Structure 1
Amino acid sequence: MSHKVYLNGEFLAQEEAKISPMDRGFLFGDGIYEVVPCYDAKPVGLGLHLARMNKGLSEISLNYKAELSEWADIIQTLIGQFESTAVSVYIHISRGCDIKRYHAYPKDIAPTIFAYAFEISPSQSVQIDKTKTYKVVTGEDKRWQRCHIKSTSLLGNVMHFQQGQDAGVDEIILYNEQKMLTEAAACNVFVVKDGIIMTPKLDNQLLPGITRNIALEAMHKDGGFKVSEQDISVETLCTADEVWLTSSSKEIGPVVQVDDRKINDGIPGPLWQKAQTAYNKYKFKL
């Protein structure tokens, strides 16, 4: 039995949900999306996710505003279909369906509002022997210059992610023309060197990740961490004591290999363990 999805105000069986091929989300990738992880029926950072979505919608002049109370109810209905305690909800708002394909934003069309839920891995364990770890390669960032917008136009990210898959690893960490890190294909990046936890400062080259945000706030609230948002060179990455990936599905994921170099002898580092513990403590409170 398929699970129900949400489409334009209705909950429908997945096979019954239909979107026109003239929808601008299909033709142009003209839309914004979010992925909200939920554990034990509790969304992580829902207010932060919707605030980022609304900012993105405003930046592309798409006339829709996601309301917290409405989406909290929709999410509870979607995740309530699952026995699993670990479920994510994908939310997709496209500009909608027009009668012709034309680059300029059309006027007076209704947005297409879609969401569905799917099972994910349990919350990241802080026990070293039960922790999922990651291997990555590095590569030059060749995407567009508005990566701070969580657009459904993800081909650049998809192509970079495939580079990692073709190399037989989990992800690719990207750097710009100045050899400074931006982000990974589907994650933000943290680098630990000499006890300092660094992450690239926010600008148009990277997405302001919600997990990144919560992790920074959790480390600040918990105390005992030295954290810096700054430029990070590829050279620093290659000599790092620890490297982490953050995303809604990975939470704080420890990297154990960058290109051909093992990180911390191939096991998660001590600061990762402290950071993930702090994240778990605050992830439902921010």
Structure 2
Amino acid sequence: MSRIVYVNGTYLPDEQATISIFDRGFLFADGVYEVTSVLDGKLIDFDGHATRLQRSLSELDMNTPVTMETLLEINRELVARNDITDGLVYLQITRGAAADRDFAFPDPDTPPTIVLFTQNKPGLADSPAAKTGIKVISIEDQRWGRRDIKTVQLLYPSMGKMMAKAAGADDAWMVEDGAVTEGTSNNAYIVKGNTIITRQLSHDILHGITRAAVLRFAREAQMKVEERAFTVEEAKAADEAFVTSASSFVMPVVEMDDAPIGTGTPGPVAARLREIYLEESRKTAI
């Protein structure tokens, strides 16, 4: 059975989905996106993703093609039509298709392009990697400066994933001026003593929706949180480390640049935060 996707107001089989070759997302990566997790057939943290989407669009002076209420209906319809129990809903909005290729933005009345599709991920919350941890390498952060906007400019993060794969690792942590910014598709954390350390919000990192929830849960659980930059050396000397994202939730990191972090096995803080996050997020899923 074909996967049903959504393109500019229409639900249709994925093999029939098309967009213009003049779409600015295709020509200039002039677009934004969001990924929302689905557990037990319900959307996790939808309001957070919707709010960040609106911010990304605003920062790029891009029109919003649908209301957030309608967007929720589309998400739910796709989950239902594709019979998704555990998985992801991907959303992308671009500045649309102008009459021809031009670096200048098209007329503001140009309709944005909106595309959504699902990915079926049975057992998404039960990833074996959560029990073994993942390995990362450090690479230079060569992305543009506005990493707080969730754009589709993902070439360098994709290259980082391949650098990690070539090195026998699972992911890469990007480094700028000696300090870790974030992973290729996640926010990065270390734990030293009883303190969780993660880079503060700025233009340097994505304002992660899972990040916000995990830090809130950590503070509610009386865990100490320090938001500041940390160095590669600090990471290698940490007691444990982990990453957060909408698709991996809380994932322990056990090795960096071939050096074990802590005991080289998932630590108790990451394990507890993953447990809390999944439990609390399921309660508020819609």
Give me the TM-score of the superposition, normalised by structure 2.
0.94
**Correspondence list, 1:161-180, <5 A:** 161-177=161-177, 179-180=178-179
Deviations 1:74-131 (A, max 9, x none): 11111113445211000000110111111111112100010000112524359x9972
1:72 and 2:72 are equivalent in the alignment: yes
Question: Which residue of structure 1 aligns with residue 249 of structure 2?
Answer: 251
SS in 1 for 2:81: coil
> CA separation of 1:103/1:130 partners in 2, compared to 1, >3 Å: closer, same or farther?
closer
Deviations 1:158-187 (A, max 9, x none): 12222112212110011112x111001111
- Structure 1: gaps (5+ residues): none
Whole-angstrom distance in 1 between the partners of 2:36 and 2:121: 11
Q: Please say which of residues 85-94 and 223-232 is displaced more in the overlay.
A: 223-232
**Correspondence list, 1:49-68, <5 A:** 49-64=49-64, 66-68=66-68
Deviations 1:35-69 (A, max 9, x none): 00010111111011011011000111111165332
> CA separation of 1:206/1:163 partners in 2, compared to 1, >3 Å: closer, same or farther?
same
Question: Which residue of structure 1 aligns with residue 209 of structure 2?
Answer: 210
Whole-angstrom distance in 1 between the partners of 2:181 and 2:66: 28
The answer to whether the Cα contact below 8 Å between 1:8 and 1:113 also exists between their aligned partners in 2 is: yes
> CA separation of 1:73/1:164 partners in 2, compared to 1, >3 Å: closer, same or farther?
same
The answer to whether the Cα contact below 8 Å between 2:189 and 2:196 also exists between their aligned partners in 1 is: yes
RMSD: 1.8
The answer to whether the Cα contact below 8 Å between 1:25 and 1:31 also exists between their aligned partners in 2 is: yes
2:89 partner amino acid: V
Whole-angstrom distance in 2 between the partners of 1:114 and 1:150: 15
The answer to whether the Cα contact below 8 Å between 1:125 and 1:131 also exists between their aligned partners in 2 is: no
1:25 partner amino acid: G
Deviations 1:197-241 (A, max 9, x none): 0110011111011111111112222x2211111121111111011
Aligned length: 283
SS in 2 for 1:265: coil
Whole-angstrom distance in 2 between the partners of 1:132 and 1:38: 23
Question: Which residue of structure 1 aligns with residue 223 of structure 2?
Answer: 225
Question: Which residue of structure 2 aligns with residue 265 of structure 1?
Answer: 263
Whole-angstrom distance in 2 between the partners of 1:66 and 1:215: 29
The answer to whether the Cα contact below 8 Å between 2:57 and 2:64 also exists between their aligned partners in 1 is: yes
> CA separation of 1:104/1:206 partners in 2, compared to 1, >3 Å: closer, same or farther?
same
1:155 and 2:155 are equivalent in the alignment: yes
Work out the percentage of aligned pairs sharing the same amino acid: 34
SS in 2 for 1:124: helix
Whole-angstrom distance in 2 between the partners of 1:101 and 1:215: 42
The answer to whether the Cα contact below 8 Å between 1:50 and 1:66 also exists between their aligned partners in 2 is: no
Whole-angstrom distance in 2 between the partners of 1:246 and 1:99: 40
The answer to whether the Cα contact below 8 Å between 1:53 and 1:66 also exists between their aligned partners in 2 is: no
1:39 and 2:17 are equivalent in the alignment: no
- Structure 2: gaps (5+ residues): none
SS in 1 for 2:263: helix
The answer to whether the Cα contact below 8 Å between 2:24 and 2:97 also exists between their aligned partners in 1 is: yes
The answer to whether the Cα contact below 8 Å between 1:240 and 1:263 also exists between their aligned partners in 2 is: yes
Give me the TM-score of the superposition, normalised by structure 1.
0.94
Question: Which residue of structure 2 aligns with residue 235 of structure 1?
Answer: 233
The answer to whether the Cα contact below 8 Å between 2:41 and 2:84 also exists between their aligned partners in 1 is: no
- Structure 1 runs, 4 residues or longer, greater than 4 Å off: none
1:53 partner amino acid: L
Q: Please say which of residues 116-125 and 201-210 is displaced more in the overlay.
A: 116-125
Whole-angstrom distance in 1 between the partners of 2:122 and 2:240: 23
> CA separation of 1:218/1:130 partners in 2, compared to 1, >3 Å: closer, same or farther?
closer
**Correspondence list, 1:8-157, <5 A:** 8-64=8-64, 66-107=66-107, 108-120=109-121, 122-125=123-126, 131=131, 133-157=133-157
